[in-house]
Amino acid sequence: MNRSYLNSIILRYCLLLILGLGNLFIFYLIFTPLTIYPVFDLINFFYDAVLLKGNPSKICDLATNLFPAFQNLACINTTIFFKGYFASIIPACIAGSAYYLLLILNLSTPMDKKKRLKSIFFLMSSFLFINILRIFTFALLFANKGFELFNITHIATWYFGSTVLVIILWFANVFLFNIRSIPIYEDFKVIISQIRGKNK
């Protein structure tokens, strides 16, 4: 096995393990503000919206205890008041696990560095954009059509929407960047062939 390829495997999978620590803290730290403020701006464009104080996200406690340097960023408010309704953007809305899954697919697939960076940017930015529109649409649906219709569509997309979206984005990414390798399998195949070669 090529030494640089072995180093690449170790680095990629160690990075995935590190990023998965702290209940995906780093993903919520990054994508919570990137989600909340655009959603607030969109709602505020149509209604007189207010970003309420006193309802910080759940990552706030973790940041306060473990990462005090990130406290101000993590402890942002997540409830928007508009048209007489309160819309709370909870961690499930941010979908940190979906970002992590997309990164797993990317980092477990062999590709050159330039293509990998482009792929990560495409996957993360595309999911962020779609998720912002999804939350905004749900907020309008709740305010204009009531809780019942909102609840049905919200549950449906909660169980199926994010998973389907991740799959669609990954295959779009494969097509866009002409990725021919299979996640995890290619690395596993190379490692196994190397082990068998040494045992001969």
- Residue 78: the pLDDT is 74
Helices (H), 21-146: 21-46, 59-66, 71-74, 91-94, 96-107, 113-145
Q: Quick: pLDDT tens for 88-106.
A: 887 788 888 999 999 999 9
Between CA 58 and CA 70 the distance in angstroms is: 13
Q: Per-residue pLDDT averaged across 31-49, rounded?
A: 89
Are 67 and 25 in contact by the 8 Å Cβ rule? The answer is yes
Are 150 and 138 in contact by the 8 Å Cβ rule? The answer is yes
Are 161 and 95 in contact by the 8 Å Cβ rule? The answer is no
Closest CA to 124 of 23, 1, 19: 19
| AA identity, residue 101 | L
Q: For the chain, which residues make up each domain, given as ranges?
A: 3-199
- Residue 91: the pLDDT is 78
CA dihedral 83, 89, 93, 99 (to 10 degrees): 130
- pLDDT band (50, 70, 90) for residue 62: low
Between CA 169 and CA 101 the distance in angstroms is: 11
Closest CA to 44 of 34, 52, 56: 52
Between CA 78 and CA 56 the distance in angstroms is: 6
The H or E element spanning position 151 is helix 147-156
- Residue 65: the pLDDT is 54
Q: Quick: pLDDT tens for 155-193.
A: 767 666 778 889 999 999 999 999 988 888 888 887 787
* CA torsion through residues 78, 94, 41, 43, sign: negative
Indicate yes or no: pTM above 0.95: no
